[in-house]
Copies of this chain bind each other. A is one copy, B any other.
């Protein structure tokens, strides 16, 4: 009942497997096997060892085990931020998968600061993570990143933004997403279109735009203004971008926001000017965050499934960890799905 050093305040020495095996009258190997519930150990012994563990208040020292095994059972995840529900959902589903596989998630937010991202990655490597998932900050230098990442033999995967085809990657199929949305708008009779927001220099932005403009070109839709309005993915940026657009005197048939967060700002600014989304201008967006269907009016959005993205990311990483043979890089693209709602469905050229 009375474990040694149970007294409050005094520094209690850690109870080790050795202590346990001594008390139980077995070897440390046996005690260790009991921990893993090995079937080769007789039940009687298991019971005795477990009793000794309880008696002493033994806690498995995973840190020591990991050190010994040269494994950390930890996955590093570096993302820019989680204020955007897309990233939040992705992180949660990634964590769920890796935790269930016995890993712990080491979480870092780069806040789109490349310096910070760099030191975070370094620190994670020092901790000996078994795998790293990165949603790269805007402005990340692909060459430097490759250098940093290749210096370790740790499995590595990019999320949502990539730099080519040389490494594992998982993200939404942004080009297709842009195409489907472009088709939808063209079908509505949209002739002039504005793209609003999105990180200036990210693969996801380019892909969405390319998909959209490809279809737009086919259908004779004009892009206004000619110079795209970019900005951070915040509600305020969305409102400011919209204000800038309208101040220019450009009221296009449709505004396509880079994501639902920005679209919220678009809605606000339109309302502030007495314009109604879905009546005076069609509004569409990407991601289909929870709540998009409860905007007023409900927002047409391309669902990009961050949950699936996080899950796929986890499973690729775990696979690479289990089987570190260098296979061909995987590019997993999550198929998007258009949710048509009143913000476009209600629109008609007048």
Contacts and interface: CB of A to CB of B under 8 A. Distances in A.
A296 interface: yes
A12 B268 CA distance: 57
Given A107-B105, A107-B107, A290-B235, A83 B81 contact: no
Contact of A66 (B63, B106, B107, B267): B63
Nearest to A272: B296
18 contacts: A59-B125, A61-B126, A63-B66, A63-B67, A63-B128, A67-B67, A74-B106, A82-B82, A82-B88, A82-B91, A88-B88, A91-B107, A95-B107, A96-B109, A99-B108, A268-B294, A268-B296, A296-B296
Contacts of A126: 59-63
Interface of A: 8-9, 12, 14, 57, 59-64, 66-67, 70, 72, 74, 77, 81-83, 85, 88-89, 91-92, 95-96, 99, 104-109, 111, 120, 123-128, 151-153, 234-236, 239, 261, 264-265, 267-268, 271, 290-291, 294-296, 326
Nearest to A85: B83
Contacts of A59: 125-126, 151-152
B82 A99 contact: no
A327 to B, nearest CB: 12
Nearest to A77: B107
A339 to B, nearest CB: 14
A332 B66 CA distance: 36
A26 to B, nearest CB: 22
Nearest to A123: B104
Nearest to A127: B62
A88 B96 CA distance: 16
Contacts of A294: 235-236, 239, 264-265, 267-268
